[in-house]
Amino acid sequence: MFRPLINPSYARLFSAQVIALLGTGLMTVALGLLAYDLAGEAAGAVLGTALAIKMIAYVGLAPLANALAERLPRKAVLIGADVIRAAVALLLPFIDAVWQVYALIFVLQAASATFTPAFQALIPDILEDEDDYTQALSLSRLAYDLENLISPTLAAAALLVMSYSSLFLGTVAGFLGSALLVANAQLPQRKTAARARSFAERLTRGLRIYVATPRLRGLLSLNMAAAAGGAFVIVNTVVLVRLGYGGGEVRVASALAAFGAGSMLAALLLPRLLDHLSDRRVMIAAGVGLAGATLTHGLVMLTAGLLSWPLLLATWALSGALYTSVLTPSGRLLRRSSHPEDRSALFAAQFALSHACWLLTYPLAGWAGQVLGLGVALLLLGALAVAGVVAARLVWPARAARELEHSHPDLPPDHPHLQQHGKTGHRHVFVIDDEHHAWPSQG
């Protein structure tokens, strides 16, 4: 599992990710306390709006940022995004109005929408071996889960000796540390397209490749299933524990930690599991399990009342494991579905589309839980997860070969592609690109 860390470039980038995540975790705690200082009882609404702004920035700006940055050096893009995030974090302690929170959060998340897809697209170019890349995906998932556990602990310890405003300095240090590690990493050169593309082409290329590739349409459906299953845990755990179980902050943290523990266990086991089972089989089975667990929990809550506390923790741990099993292999699908020069655009499309799913499920979980009750919210989210899994099974063929028979009636006989592979029908590893605009099964 830790073999990718032998690669010095990946080791520096992974360290940069971990440090930046810790800084982000400290900011999350500090931002909640800042919102309470500024808005009092309306702090929840402020944080909810900030979360919506984050998702809107992710959905709307990731492809735009990729198109603008495509011709820039990778290292400059990553360092620039980190510096902007550090500058925003440095300003946060000095604001005195809610609208300033919204403005700065938008700028910070715009920088994150630039950094994250570019970072994710870089890893498969560094780790060309698929087994190493699979292990790197699990390490990345593990880093996110550890951050969810460690950052609140660090914040609590720091708040014993300093004010919450000082936590933002930890965020600044995290982003600057990330920039320094990126600056010292040996990064492969960006692979450019054979011909120059217009801005409009660069803006839409990732999305066009995504929707034209059956396995990625399946991935989008499974993203919706994962978001539906995960949104209830993220949005409503505090409500469920506080009002349903009468628990305090420790029990809320314990429930979220159970979800994180399940996620970490799955991240540790997935590389070995994917050696023996296909991505599709693992992801769809996990999606079925997550949808089933969500629906079952909702039915039990409506008919028999709350689960026992140990059973809730077990359910949250199972949900965390299934959630991670749906999402972690996605990088393998994106890598398999693109040439290196298109990878950054495709990862940006995945970043935007996956967060569009959260933009739907977050408010659904919150409003349905408040208006209709938590049991009904679980049923609605479970039904949405079922719809995502069914759609994935329909659009992602079970026995899809990587090398596909196809022909090119649209290409001239002397085209280099036909000279290389044959003028009549031929077979090779198939991805959507300049010579292949549609999947063979679509004509």
Q: What's 232's domain CATH number?
A: 1.20.1250.20
Is there a single domain that holds both residue 152 and residue 241? no
Task: Quote the pTM value.
Answer: 0.86
Is there a single domain that holds both residue 371 and residue 408? no
pLDDT of residue 192: 62
Is there a single domain that holds both residue 217 and residue 143? no
Is there a single domain that holds both residue 133 and residue 226? no
Is there a single domain that holds both residue 106 and residue 218? no
Query: Tokens at residue 169, please?
Result: 């300095």
pLDDT of residue 43: 65
Rg for the chain, CA atoms, rounded: 22
pLDDT of residue 420: 66
Is residue 214 within 8 Å of residue 400, measured between CB atoms?
Answer: yes
pLDDT of residue 442: 45
Residues in Cβ contact with 111 at an 8 Å cutoff, skipping those fewer than 6 apart? 81, 82, 84, 85, 88
pLDDT of residue 201: 81
Q: List pLDDT tens digits, range 345-384.
A: 898 999 899 999 998 998 888 888 888 999 999 999 999 9
Is there a single domain that holds both residue 168 and residue 227? no
Is there a single domain that holds both residue 206 and residue 183? no
The partner residues of 406 in beta bridges, in order of sequence, read: 426
The whole-angstrom distance between residue 296's C-alpha and the CA centroid of its chain comes to 26
Owner of token pair 């039990």? 300
Distance separating alpha carbons of residues 424 and 406, to the nearest angstrom:
9
pLDDT of residue 443: 39
Distance separating alpha carbons of residues 388 and 284, to the nearest angstrom:
10
Q: List pLDDT tens digits, range 116-165.
A: 888 888 888 898 888 888 888 888 888 887 777 777 667 777 777 788 88
Q: Looking at 147, 162, 190, which one is the last position of a domain?
A: 190
Q: Looking at 190, 215, 242, which one is the last position of a domain?
A: 190
Give, in order, the Cα–Cα distances in Å from 17 to each of 13, 32, 41, 111, 244: 6, 23, 34, 15, 36
Is residue 227 within 8 Å of residue 357, measured between CB atoms?
Answer: yes
The whole-angstrom distance between residue 76's C-alpha and the CA centroid of its chain comes to 23
Is there a single domain that holds both residue 184 and residue 207? no
pLDDT of residue 403: 65
The whole-angstrom distance between residue 179's C-alpha and the CA centroid of its chain comes to 21
Is there a single domain that holds both residue 129 and residue 212? no
Q: Is 43 helix (H, G, I), strand (E, B) or coil?
A: helix
Distance separating alpha carbons of residues 272 and 287, to the nearest angstrom:
19
Is there a single domain that holds both residue 384 and residue 281? yes
Q: Looking at 135, 160, 190, which one is the last position of a domain?
A: 190
Distance separating alpha carbons of residues 245 and 307, to the nearest angstrom:
10
Is there a single domain that holds both residue 368 and residue 314? yes
From first to last of its 443 residues, the chain has per-residue pLDDT tens of 678 889 999 999 999 999 998 888 888 778 877 877 887 766 656 766 787 788 888 888 888 888 887 778 889 999 999 999 999 999 998 988 889 988 998 999 899 988 988 888 888 889 888 888 888 888 888 888 777 777 766 777 777 778 888 888 999 999 999 999 999 988 887 666 556 677 778 888 889 999 989 999 999 999 999 999 999 988 888 888 888 898 877 788 788 888 988 998 999 999 999 989 999 999 999 999 999 999 999 999 999 999 999 999 999 999 999 999 999 999 999 988 888 888 888 989 998 999 999 989 988 888 888 889 999 999 999 999 999 999 999 999 887 666 666 777 777 776 776 666 666 677 777 777 766 767 776 43
Distance separating alpha carbons of residues 255 and 326, to the nearest angstrom:
21
Q: Is 162 helix (H, G, I), strand (E, B) or coil?
A: coil
How many domains does the chain fold into?
3
Structural domain that includes position 334: 197-400
Query: Tokens at residue 368, please?
Result: 């349905």
pLDDT of residue 333: 92
pLDDT of residue 195: 61
Is there a single domain that holds both residue 387 and residue 408? no
Give, in order, the Cα–Cα distances in Å from 46 to each of 28, 56, 90, 167, 314: 13, 15, 20, 19, 32
DSSP 3-31: GGGGSHHHHHHHHHHHHHHHHHHHHHHHH
